[in-house]
A and B are shown apart, each in its own frame.
Chain A
Amino acid sequence: MNEAREAILALADGRIFRGRAFGAIGETAGEAVFNTSMTGYQEVLTDPSYKGQIVCMTYPEIGNVGVNPDDEESSRIYVEGFVVREYLERPSNWRARMTLGEYLERAGVIGIEGIDTRALVRHLRSAGAQEAVISSVNLDPDALVAKARTAPGLIGRDLVKEVTCERPYDWDSGPWRRESGFVRPSAAELAAAPAVVALDYGIKRNILRRLVATGFRVSVLPARATAEQVLALNPDGVFLSNGPADPAAVPYAIETVRGLLGKKPIFGICLGHQILGLALGGRTFKLGFGHHGANHPVMDLRTRRVEITSQNHGFAVDADSLQGKAELSHLNLNDHTVEGLRGIGAPFFSVQYHPEASPGPHDSDYLFGRFRRLVEEFPRHGAEALDRITAAEQSA
């Protein structure tokens, strides 16, 4: 062990945790949240939805498998800071290419280890997610708490604009195989595939890969794209991506979705789902400490089947606000919050959780297939397409 450099995590409500610095040295602020997934820290780090947040992993041993180029969910690390019980600087995995510490350091991301993460989690669970500061350069707790108190917070804050792509691009990389890495469809396959436009609010790569794997030709548009711009491409379907922070803070995205409703089959995930809910006239609200993990049970209310889902969100759609506008399709069995919506006589559906997993279980991958069928059926059956598909799925 090298001589450890001290670091402090200070919460806005005054609670202090002392630990050791790892990754980059410096100071950072963000909303402190915890993630309960025991695997996939690299995917967590690179998930744009964590923009604005300091993430604490509940699993205590982190760094064990290092990092590798295939497990990135975007081109960079998005978490504002990383909190772990024990950082392991000697990874062991056949795919590992770098240590976690180096990875954070290169990206300038500040980590803290050696704190009682369970105590932190229990505190956030009861006191709620809140602003926090990690510093390995200023060790004055009072000053850090003061900084945490003045940090901006997530409510009403548009972080989408900071993570969306600058210009449109096409995506053609498919699912991961142990032997060969990511599979790419042939040009002929792509040419024959239905086209989908993915609106990028901070999209994870694995969503794009699952869309390709399901047989779509994918074009990605920046979050500010208007309905007219989307329709001008005449896609067969529109996908609304995940993303960070408060859905109510991105009125332009809500406006775009409103302009697409009923015109194109739509599938939304996470922030995309919330934006869809708002476009339908519903409300969203902030959860106490959010859902961040890979073990949340969600029930498909039509089939009564339970999926173990990957989740990462701090806001949720208010079920009551959508009465008559959409059907509640999926329910979280832990806290009974809305996990999915389905159009009533309209070709859209969305889920609050992450069917693309990464990290997490693959139980909900069927939703990509549902989207593909919806896109196929829509030209013939229009508004009835979704009901027909659902009926077919249930009888299968």
Chain B
Amino acid sequence: MPLRKDLKSILLIGSGPIVIGQACEFDYSGTQAVKALREEGLRLILVNSNPATIMTDPELADRTYIEPMTAEAVAKIIERERPDALLPTVGGQTALNLAIELAESGVLDRFGVELIGAKLDAIKKAEDRDLFKRAMIKIGLEVPASEVVHSEAEAARACERLGLPLIIRPSRTLGGTGGSIARDAGEFRARVRWGLEMSPNHEVLLEESVEGWKEFELEVMRDMADNVVIICSIENLDPMGVHTGDSITVAPAQTLTDKEYQLMRDAALRIIREIGVDTGGSNIQFAIDPATGRMVVIEMNPRVSRSSALASKATGFPIAKIAARLAVGYRLDEIPNDITKKTPACFEPTIDYVVTKIPRFTFEKFRGADDELGPQMKSVGEVMAIGRTFKESLQKALRSLELGSFGFESRVLGMTREQAFAAIHARLVVPNSHRLYYVADALRLGASPAEVHRLTKIDPWFIDAIADIVRAEARISGEPLAPGALREAKAMGFSDRRIADLRGVAEEEVARRRREFGVTPVYKSVDTCGAEFEAFTPYLYSTYEGEDEAPPDARRKIMILGGGPNRIGQGIEFDYCCVHASLALKEAGFETIMVNCNPETVSTDYDISDRLYFEPLTFEDVLAIVEREKPFGVIVQFGGQTPLKLATALARAGVPVLGTPPDAIDRAEDRERFNQLVEQLGLRQPRGILARSAAEAIDGAARIGYPVLIRPSYVLGGRAMEIIADENGLRAYLEQALQASERRPLLVDRYLAGAIEVDVDAIADGERVVIGGVMEHVEHAGIHSGDSACALPPRTLDAATQRSLIEQTRMLARKLGVVGLINVQYAIFNGEIYILEVNPRASRTIPFVSKAIGVPLAKLAARVMAGAKLADFGFTSERVPRHVAVKESVFPFVRFPGVDTILGPEMKSTGEVMGIGESFAAAFAKAEIAASTNLPAAGLVFISVRDADKPALEPIARGLAEMGFRMVATRGTARHLNQLGIACDSVNKVGQGSPHIVDLMRAGEVAMVINTPDQQGAADSFSIRRTALETRLPFFTTLSGAGAAVEAIAALKRERPGVRALQDYHTA
């Protein structure tokens, strides 16, 4: 059964903005699917609202729609493009939910669109908790006892039958949103209510808790001829109770005998057949009672998933690519294995190394969020490491996280034994993001592995491995560093830095000894087959063993350092840039080498670069690759702060860094050097000082005048950046914030309240500087640029200001000697332009700008860095689009109960969407819809603004009144509006007693919330914002945002937005 002849065009749905639970793994899977299907000669239509994706590059699909991921928009695309089929299984839960909606509403039938990959029945059977449970029982498999409920009353009755503790799992939510464990009646009531609210169909499964059981996953593939294979088994180090996305996981499974593994495999085959997933990949989760081996089925995802991306990278078997081919008719045995070329894809990969995945968390970004882990996913990214043993891969994974950890550093240094035991005990019992370090500490203090197992329920096998590492640490710190001992330590995954710390010497000293002894890494291939067949794809990892099987060749090569794990402030945008660099340089005839450790990414697809090194992005690991490959140049500009932080050290070690010299990066980042630069150019920046001590900061702030903006230098995403109103606030900040910066000095600047913020991206080749785009932020200065919406071209700036911004950008680029990309952030305050910061590197907005103007900036920049000129590509002047493009951010607040939603100078968004329209209002409306902000057409708007915002409120309130909205406000705001002659009722604040505003919101009477609190009022109005968030009400915490929303509502009332392909914007 080769390619189906009746299919000519396929609609593929992406996964939208990056959110917790749905990161760039779906750009990886979607991109693979698009490429594979186009190779088959099919016409591909793609929809995804996220511009920072490779899949939305206009040359990838035939028709690319950056449009909201709503049934309304997709129906319009279907009507226009008339695809034969819809592939919903490579775009995560978002795509699957959208496909269900389109199928159930009859859109697919109306236009004759076939669902391929998984039919509606199969999707429902897998996704609907009750149907799934019944299906499992039918085929003789065990599931935890459970009941599905749709109301609190039903839940209470079910709880009586099932007994506590219970796991609460809302239906059809992403990454377990709304999921929790309830241990007592109070928790149960609150958590069931929350779960019901989170579920789009108000359905919750109450499930017997199997907390502490061993958790496993199998990645399964099936073709239309019913051939089924297992691609990978995964064992979770964290036992049941922690969401698998938040668990440390290991591939393959480590603690199953063949008999037990085969029972699980048999179950997986039965499940995929019973659920009826026709073709493609599915992920099935199992729990096993460690005492008896009793196995229960937890759940199934009838689509490619985060785990399948991990499994693809872990085995070299490209699940999404194969799944796409299977969906259009191929059988597994008709598809060749890319890596071996001679054998078919119809087999089960076998691996001869161990893969460890560790999630990356950013709890530090969300004050008030605890770092306890449970059934709801909280991590924002992950790293994967490959080693020949578990110990090696685990230690490589730890340093890949870039959390300043290079091994199992103690977390209880400086504590007394009693304090340490107390801290360790607390951190072992409740799962949390640092638990593994405390496991090591417990063992170090003499706890037995059995005791650690009793407290953590982590399988003793993993604890024993950590115990081996701890024992090795003692040898490393206590014995002379002989060649054999050093080799043994390196083979166990110890970094030079960790060895140096243990011995109290400098890292360079360990590196030097290592070279003297000839203890250097070798590189081995990921080949799907345990070396049984020859591998043709250089997908490599390091280890310390005898044979290096991938000696470098002598071609001219360029090495690109990736961005490491996704985190807030550094996500998919940088991977997008790295991928573009690799593609462009390959085209230019270079051999490209990618180094990265993030399994979710497109850059770690072995198809992208000539060589892929799946390695930690630390100085040691990167230098080892440079030393063997001897590249013509290394690109550090594209992967965000991760490679940038290495730039100076690499340059010092003689590594040829391409493009903008590392010294220019330092000049832009180092406050004093930067001040000199701005002064030399005669430009303006907010008054500021560099403080090396608390006293200097307090003194400086007094001279600058409050409010001040304060942050550590060299940080990403505005980490620990705050606006401080007065000296008391400053003292409080200084007490706790110094730790985020690794002893770096603090920057204290005048805060330009109410200023308009502008981002400019440009590209320079050493001769010419060409503007990529000028973006005006919707929110005023003070909100992190990564969190604010922005418009391209600018919405309110006059021509003279724009000219001046462009001129200043050119001056800065020239003065710094930029070769490649540069991003400058400006504030416009009382008609004057102030420079806020200069980033001589790829910025977060590069993919957005590239798509808005139709020029692949990252590709051009990579070529320029390798020596080409912009004139070679005919890109010599700015392209100002005729349409308006708006970028809007999406936030993870809903995952963190107790966290406020107010925006500030510290970045909190996880992803972005893009809206394109004829006007700002139309584009902003689309962007809001794409960000799941349901702008209302009528109803009651609640308003409560701080005094400073009251003058600017009038046009917004009038606009709402004119469109027929009713308004209700807290007393001060209501009085203010009434005085202006605008009708507005007043309502109690929460503190003023019921019925208050939250009652009103909970009763469903409010359609939109505008709330701009001052610092004192923030606590009062916290419950308003949380309620808005949890009840999915559109809410705006800045007046500039609210004003834009009012414009957008007006635009939506005039006309519902249409859809238009990216290809039409740029060729028309």
Q: Which of A94, A115, A297 is in CB contact (< 8 Å) with B293?
A: A94
Interface membership of A361, Cβ < 8 A: yes
Provide the bound-state CA to CA distance between A334 and B344, in Å: 7
Q: Is the CB of A357 within 8 A of B545?
A: no
* Chain A positions 58 through 69: 1 when the CB is less than 8 Å from some CB of chain B, otherwise 0: 111100110010
Provide the bound-state CA to CA distance between A37 and B233, in Å: 13
Q: Which of B257, B292, B532 is in CB contact (< 8 Å) with A40?
A: B257
User: Nearest A residue to B449 by beta-carbon distance?
Assistant: A90
Q: Is the CB of B389 within 8 A of A36?
A: no
Provide the bound-state CA to CA distance between A362 and B265, in Å: 9
Q: Is the CB of A306 within 8 A of B530?
A: no
Query: Of the 9-residue stretches B345-353, B394-402, B935-943, B1051-1059, which lies at the interface with chain A?
Result: B345-353
Q: Is the CB of B529 within 8 A of A36?
A: yes
Interface membership of A117, Cβ < 8 A: yes
Provide the bound-state CA to CA distance between A225 and B266, in Å: 37
Interface membership of A176, Cβ < 8 A: yes
Chain B neighbourhood of A68, CB < 8 A: 257
* Chain A positions 337 through 364: 1 when the CB is less than 8 Å from some CB of chain B, otherwise 0: 0000000000000000000011111100
Q: Is the CB of B533 within 8 A of A334?
A: yes
User: Nearest A residue to B461 by beta-carbon distance?
Assistant: A92
Contacting residues of chain A (49-63) with chain B, CB-CB under 8 angstroms: 58-61
Interface membership of A284, Cβ < 8 A: no
Interface membership of B555, Cβ < 8 A: no
Interface membership of B471, Cβ < 8 A: yes
Interface membership of A302, Cβ < 8 A: no
* Chain B positions 527 through 550: 1 when the CB is less than 8 Å from some CB of chain A, otherwise 0: 001111110000000000111010
Provide the bound-state CA to CA distance between A116 and B543, in Å: 10
Q: Is the CB of B262 within 8 A of A93?
A: no
Q: Is the CB of A296 within 8 A of B347?
A: yes
Chain A neighbourhood of B266, CB < 8 A: 362
Provide the bound-state CA to CA distance between A362 and B264, in Å: 11
User: Nearest A residue to B332 by beta-carbon distance?
Assistant: A306
Interface membership of A329, Cβ < 8 A: no
Q: Is the CB of A39 within 8 A of B464?
A: no
Chain B neighbourhood of A176, CB < 8 A: 259
Q: Which of A1, A88, A94, A295 is in CB contact (< 8 Å) with B349?
A: A295
Contact A1:B471 (CB < 8 A) given known A61-B354, A121-B531, A358-B258: yes
B298 to A: closest C-beta gap in Å? 18
Chain B neighbourhood of A88, CB < 8 A: 461, 464
Interface size for A (C-beta < 8 A) is 56
Q: Is the CB of A295 within 8 A of B262?
A: no
* Chain B positions 215 through 257: 1 when the CB is less than 8 Å from some CB of chain A, otherwise 0: 0000000000111010001000000000000000000111111
Contact A305:B352 (CB < 8 A) given known A43-B258, A85-B389, A125-B532: no
Q: Indicate the member of A1, A38, A178 with the most B CB atoms within 10 Å.
A: A38
Interface membership of B759, Cβ < 8 A: no
Provide the bound-state CA to CA distance between A334 and B345, in Å: 10
Interface membership of B576, Cβ < 8 A: no
Chain A neighbourhood of B672, CB < 8 A: none
Provide the bound-state CA to CA distance between A45 and B1054, in Å: 76
Contact A86:B389 (CB < 8 A) given known A71-B257, A306-B227: yes
Q: Is the CB of B229 within 8 A of A1?
A: no
Interface membership of A373, Cβ < 8 A: no
Provide the bound-state CA to CA distance between A7 and B354, in Å: 25
Interface membership of B554, Cβ < 8 A: no
Interface membership of B656, Cβ < 8 A: no
Q: Is the CB of B352 within 8 A of A60?
A: yes
Contacting residues of chain B (443-484) with chain A, CB-CB under 8 angstroms: 459-461, 464, 468, 471
Interface membership of B26, Cβ < 8 A: no
User: Nearest B residue to A18 by beta-carbon distance?
Assistant: B546
Contact A38:B346 (CB < 8 A) given known A1-B471, A60-B353, A178-B294: no
Provide the bound-state CA to CA distance between A38 and B254, in Å: 9
Interface membership of B261, Cβ < 8 A: yes
Q: Is the CB of B546 within 8 A of A116?
A: yes
Provide the bound-state CA to CA distance between A94 and B257, in Å: 10
Q: Is the CB of A118 within 8 A of B352?
A: yes
Q: Which of B252, B346, B464 is in CB contact (< 8 Å) with A306?
A: B346
Q: Is the interface of B mostly helix, strand, loop or mixed?
A: loop
Provide the bound-state CA to CA distance between A122 and B547, in Å: 10
Q: Indicate the member of A40, A92, A304 with the most B CB atoms within 10 Å.
A: A92
Chain B neighbourhood of A42, CB < 8 A: 257-258
Q: Is the CB of B344 within 8 A of A333?
A: yes
Contact A39:B256 (CB < 8 A) given known A59-B350, A60-B354, A85-B388: yes
Q: Is the CB of A58 within 8 A of B348?
A: no
Interface membership of A76, Cβ < 8 A: no
A53 to B: closest C-beta gap in Å? 16
Interface membership of A308, Cβ < 8 A: yes
Provide the bound-state CA to CA distance between A116 and B388, in Å: 9
Provide the bound-state CA to CA distance between A389 and B257, in Å: 35
Chain A neighbourhood of B227, CB < 8 A: 305-306
B406 to A: closest C-beta gap in Å? 23
Q: Is the CB of A125 within 8 A of B531?
A: yes
Interface membership of B800, Cβ < 8 A: no
Interface membership of A95, Cβ < 8 A: yes
Interface membership of B263, Cβ < 8 A: yes
Q: Is the CB of A71 within 8 A of B259?
A: yes
* Chain A positions 109 through 120: 1 when the CB is less than 8 Å from some CB of chain B, otherwise 0: 000000111110
Interface membership of A319, Cβ < 8 A: no
Interface membership of B524, Cβ < 8 A: yes
Contact A94:B531 (CB < 8 A) given known A60-B352, A118-B545, A119-B547: no
A141 to B: closest C-beta gap in Å? 14
Interface membership of B419, Cβ < 8 A: no
* Chain B positions 493 through 511: 1 when the CB is less than 8 Å from some CB of chain A, otherwise 0: 0000000000000000000
Q: Which of B257, B331, B459, B545 is in CB contact (< 8 Å) with A95?
A: B257
Interface membership of B333, Cβ < 8 A: yes
Provide the bound-state CA to CA distance between A45 and B666, in Å: 60
B721 to A: closest C-beta gap in Å? 45
Interface membership of A13, Cβ < 8 A: no
Q: Indicate the member of B293, B347, B353, B354 with the most A CB atoms within 10 Å.
A: B347
Q: Is the CB of A38 within 8 A of B347?
A: no
Q: Is the CB of A39 within 8 A of B258?
A: yes
B345 to A: closest C-beta gap in Å? 9
Q: Is the CB of A361 within 8 A of B531?
A: no
Contacting residues of chain B (361-417) with chain A, CB-CB under 8 angstroms: 388-390
Contact A39:B257 (CB < 8 A) given known A92-B459, A306-B333: yes
User: Nearest B residue to A95 by beta-carbon distance?
Assistant: B257
Provide the bound-state CA to CA distance between A362 and B390, in Å: 28
Chain A neighbourhood of B343, CB < 8 A: 297, 333-334
Q: Indicate the member of A1, A297, A299 with the most B CB atoms within 10 Å.
A: A297
Chain A neighbourhood of B530, CB < 8 A: 34, 36, 58-59, 118, 121, 293
Contacting residues of chain A (83-134) with chain B, CB-CB under 8 angstroms: 85-86, 88, 90-95, 115-119, 121-122, 125
B872 to A: closest C-beta gap in Å? 44
Contact A94:B390 (CB < 8 A) given known A118-B531, A357-B262: no
User: Nearest B residue to A65 by beta-carbon distance?
Assistant: B257
Provide the bound-state CA to CA distance between A294 and B233, in Å: 14
Interface membership of B291, Cβ < 8 A: yes
Q: Is the CB of B255 within 8 A of A93?
A: yes
Chain B neighbourhood of A93, CB < 8 A: 255-257, 260
Provide the bound-state CA to CA distance between A37 and B262, in Å: 12
Interface membership of A166, Cβ < 8 A: no
Sample of 13 more A-B contacts, CB < 8 Å, known A37-B350, A118-B531, A308-B348: A38-B351, A39-B258, A43-B258, A64-B255, A64-B461, A91-B461, A94-B291, A116-B545, A122-B531, A122-B547, A178-B294, A295-B349, A362-B265
**Residues on A facing B (Cβ under 8 Å):** 1, 17, 34, 36-40, 42-43, 58-61, 64-65, 68, 70-71, 85-86, 88, 90-95, 115-119, 121-122, 125, 176, 178, 293-297, 299, 304-306, 308, 333-334, 357-362
What 3 A-B pairs come out closest when comparing CB atoms?
Answer: A40-B258, A58-B530, A119-B547
Q: Can you show 5 pairs from A to B with CB atoms below 8 A apart? A: A60-B353, A92-B461, A95-B260, A306-B227, A360-B262
